[in-house]
Amino acid sequence: MPLTQEQLAEIDGLRESRSPTRRATVPAIEDLLYTPVPVLDHGFIRVIDYMGDDAAIVQAARVSYGRGTRRVQDDAGLINYLMRHGHTTPFEMCEIKYHIKLPIFVARQWIRHRTANVNEYSARYSVLDKEYYVPAPDQLASQSGSNRQGRGDALSGEEAAHVLAILKGDAERCYAHYEELLNEDEAGERRDPARAGLSRELARMNLTLSTYTQWYWKIDLHNLMHFLALRADGHAQYEIRVYAEAMLETLRRWVPLTAAAFTEYRLGGARLSATALAVVRRLLAGETLTAADSGLSAREWRELMTTLGRLP
């Protein structure tokens, strides 16, 4: 469901307002403030507020009073060093706050990241909108045979159409029953004056996990990058990964030097165990190794060979 005219007017009003400040601001993220970035079929992310920038990270690391005469490449070099060696506290000096609209089943996976401040839309107090997530046909897949958390081959033809019909039908039916249990119209008045209706806190329990919820989510930069490292990874579930990918773009706008270091050392890099590092050294020395004599488990061997580009 698109944003209402009232919501669009509120966003326009927020974007037109200006507040004088002595705080550091970042023009690229200022340009994005309050604007919804679409995700999935009805979801979005919005940057609501932020504190700090790349210079704040450098300042915290050096415990200095100002920017002085430092050059951008000096800041980039220090940020790269901090990222490379896992010195995380300077990144905790920066924070960002998002408004996120997402399916409930994604929210329940997301909330496992416990290092953020969260305030979720209350279905005890308000009525949830009639919006639910239906996967695109190309995202319908069978259970993976090798990964109990993953997807296998895509469904097609009549089977895919049947699954979509079930998902849509169940969501529609559950929401219709939700409205019936509430016995409320949009103004909060009784639809059927002869019935009191069920309380909102009880009526909500019949909704499907595909129903959309919303929350404000505030997190420091270090923990945001931890979230993104896990959820923007290709092994993450698609429905949470697309949110992480949208948030990666906000990271690049907000703290470009940090985002570049994060991409280089976390997203694009690899961590090796002591045994795996020994295997790499032996390979560089010209030894011919197999999984059996590497000292690694079969799974670790496959992962290492994939990282080294020796497996597809």
Choosing from 181, 209, 237, the residue where a domain stops is 209
- 3-class secondary-structure state, position 17: coil
Residue 54 located in a structural domain: yes
Q: Is 111 found in the same domain as 3? A: yes
Do 241 and 231 contact (CB within 8 A), yes or no? Answer: yes
pLDDT at 293: 93
pLDDT at 149: 67
CA dist., res. 289 & res. 113, Å (int): 39
- What are the phi and psi torsion angles at 31 (to 5°)? -65, -25
Strand 43-51: give its sheet, edge to edge. 37-39, 43-51, 95-103, 212-220, 117-120
Residue 9 located in a structural domain: yes
Q: Is 44 found in the same domain as 25? A: yes
Residue 66 located in a structural domain: yes
CA dist., res. 262 & res. 76, Å (int): 12
151: closest CA among 219, 228, 234? 234
Q: Indicate which CATH number applies to the domain containing 114.
A: 3.30.1360.170
CA dist., res. 100 & res. 102, Å (int): 6
- 3-class secondary-structure state, position 25: coil
Sign of the Cα pseudo-torsion (120, 123, 127, 132, in order): positive
Structural domains in the chain (count): 3
Tokens 């706008």 belong to residue = 253
Structure tokens at 198: 């069920």
Q: Is 265 found in the same domain as 139? A: no
Residue 123 located in a structural domain: yes
Choosing from 167, 184, 209, the residue where a domain stops is 209
260: closest CA among 75, 88, 113, 87? 75
What residues make up the domain containing 1?
A: 1-127+212-269
Residues with catalytic roles: 231
Task: Find all residues with CB under 8 Å of 270, minimum gap 6, and list them.
Answer: 307
CA dist., res. 129 & res. 107, Å (int): 16
- What are the phi and psi torsion angles at 118 (to 5°)? -130, 135
Sign of the Cα pseudo-torsion (27, 33, 38, 39, in order): positive
- 3-class secondary-structure state, position 216: strand
Choosing from 159, 174, 209, the residue where a domain stops is 209
pLDDT at 49: 96
Do 227 and 109 contact (CB within 8 A), yes or no? Answer: no
Residue 88 CB coordination number (10 Å) = 15
Residue 189 located in a structural domain: yes
Q: Is 228 found in the same domain as 92? A: yes
- Looking only at the bridges linking them, the beta strands covering 141-143 and 117-120 are unpaired
91: closest CA among 293, 262, 208? 262
pLDDT at 19: 85
Q: Is 141 found in the same domain as 288? A: no
Residue 173 located in a structural domain: yes
Q: Is 174 found in the same domain as 94? A: no
Do 97 and 216 contact (CB within 8 A), yes or no? Answer: yes
Q: Is 239 found in the same domain as 149? A: no
Q: Is 6 found in the same domain as 98? A: yes
Q: Is 288 found in the same domain as 245? A: no
Residue 312 located in a structural domain: no
Q: Bridge-partner residues for 214, per DSSP?
A: 101
Q: Is 158 found in the same domain as 220? A: no
289: closest CA among 268, 260, 267, 310? 310
Per-residue pLDDT of the chain (312 residues; tens, 9 = 90+): 567 788 888 888 888 888 888 888 999 999 999 999 999 999 999 999 999 999 999 999 988 655 555 666 789 999 999 999 999 999 999 999 999 999 999 999 999 999 999 999 999 889 999 999 999 988 888 776 666 666 677 788 888 899 999 999 999 999 999 999 999 887 788 888 888 899 999 999 999 999 999 999 999 999 999 999 999 998 899 999 999 999 999 999 999 999 999 999 999 999 999 999 999 999 999 999 999 999 999 999 999 999 999 986
Residue 237 CB coordination number (10 Å) = 14
Do 92 and 222 contact (CB within 8 A), yes or no? Answer: yes
Q: Is 292 found in the same domain as 231? A: no
Q: Is 226 found in the same domain as 118? A: yes
